[in-house]
Structure 1
Amino acid sequence: MSSPLIRPARTDEYDEIARVWMESWVSTGLAEASNFLLANLRARIRREIEDGWSLFVADDSGTIAAMLALHLPNHYLDQLFVTPACQGRSLGRQLLAFTRTQLPDEIYLRCVRENEKAWRWYEREGFVFEKEEVASATGFMMKCYRWKRQQHTG
């Protein structure tokens, strides 16, 4: 099986991207799927794009296997979600490698504290915990991480 292609999202894919986002978020056990959640995510994608998101998808032969949202001016990895059906195939690692091509020197991210699987993965991938803060939009306690490219002195 070939690796999915990571590419910019198209406007006509936003509804499907919201579905992928919801399915992945629900798979963490921190939310339940609902039409209300799906509608909120659909609206949020459009709002975030207007506010500067660069939105990418992992295209697996025409199926969206994952979504990646970056806010490049702020060096911020905002969202990285892989569909439950595609988890465990190193797709998250591919998306993170792609993120490092877009943000080669420094990356910030926040992860819900209860999503231990995710933040432990980011720690294994070289991100350093900085602080916790409450997300004003959701009320979730967030763990804030930063990755910096190693400066080689010699």
Structure 2
Amino acid sequence: MPHPVIRPARADEYDEVGRVWMESWASTRLAETSDFLLANLRARIRREIANGWSLFVADDNGTIAAMLALHVPKLYLDMLFVAPAYQGRSIGRQLLAFTRTQMPDEMYLRCVRENEKAWRWYEREGFVFEKEEIEPSNGFMMKYYRWKRAA
């Protein structure tokens, strides 16, 4: 089966990207889907794009399989979420490889400490743990990571 195509998200897809984000986040069992959460994520997408996000999607013949948000000037991989129906198909690895084309030498990310599946995956992918801090906006303890290309 061919991999989805990674491409920039279009403005008319932002609401669907928000739904994919919510469903993927809910699949971690750290939140539940709700109209309130969906509205907040959809609003956040527009706000973050205005603040410098580059938003990409993994497009599976018209279906958004995943979303990827980068802040390239800050060397920051901000969001990588794969829709539950597409999890386990190496789409996350494909998105990470794409991210390394955008930030080939170094990048940073953070993830929720309780999302062990995510941070263990990032560690397997070469990210090095740097610190933990509470994120004031949501109260979650966040694990901060850095990846640097080997010399």
The TM-score, its normalising length taken from structure 1, stands at 0.97
Aligned-CA RMSD value: 0.4
**1:2-151 correspondence to structure 2 within 5 Å:** 2-151=2-151
Residue 67 of structure 1 aligns to a residue whose secondary structure is: strand
Residue 79 of structure 1 aligns to a residue whose secondary structure is: strand
Residue 123 of structure 1 aligns to a residue whose secondary structure is: helix
Any stretches of 5+ residues in structure 2 without a counterpart? Answer: none
Identical aligned residues as a percent: 80
Counterparts of 2:135 and 2:9, CA distance in 1: 26
Deviations 1:40-95 (A, max 9, x none): 00000000000000000000000000000000000000000000000000000000
Counterparts of 1:11 and 1:150, CA distance in 2: 36
Counterparts of 1:42 and 1:69, CA distance in 2: 13
Any stretches of 5+ residues in structure 1 without a counterpart? Answer: none
**Paired letter, 1:41:** L
How big is the shift at 1:136?
A: 2.0
Number of residues paired by the alignment?
A: 151
Counterparts of 1:138 and 1:60, CA distance in 2: 32
How big is the shift at 1:39?
A: 0.2
Structure 1 residue runs of 4 or more that deviate by more than 4 Å after TM superposition = none
Counterparts of 2:76 and 2:54, CA distance in 1: 10
Residue 19 of structure 1 aligns to a residue whose secondary structure is: helix
Residue 48 of structure 1 aligns to a residue whose secondary structure is: helix
